[in-house]
Amino acid sequence: MKNLFKIALLAVCTFVISQAFSQTKTKTKKDTSFFKKVGDKTGKVATSVGHKTAEIASKGAAGVADKKYADKVGPGGQTIYIDKNSHYFYVNKKGKHVYVSKAKLKDKPVEKK
């Protein structure tokens, strides 16, 4: 009976210890700097492509649905559109409509030939 108890106790201890060791993590040093650089560049490129696509799509939609204001430009020389509610806006680099007041609009520069 004592031998059976010792064997059972040994089996339980072995089981508990093996579970404890299986939960510990060993840190292995991997060179991931290359992958981080590639991942960062991929993210930046994807973001810039997304912004440019949104800008082109928004300008195309504004050109079809809204009127262009021919005599004025935005604060940075952007094309000004007039929506159905007579609000003035331009499309920024991220494809968003930036509404401006009429007082902030500038005269369009005269093109010299």
Model-level pTM?
0.60
User: Is the pLDDT reported for residue 6 higher than 80?
Assistant: yes
Mean local confidence (pLDDT), 32-60: 85
pLDDT band of residue 30 (cuts 50, 70, 90) is low
Residue 22 has pLDDT above 70, yes or no: no
How far, in Å, CA of 111 to CA of 113, rounded? Answer: 7
Sequence spans of domains, the chain: 66-106
pLDDT tens for 66-96 read 999 988 999 888 999 999 999 999 999 999 9
**CA 87 → CA 69, 76, 83, 90, distances in Å?**
11, 18, 6, 10
- What is the structure's pLDDT at 10? 78
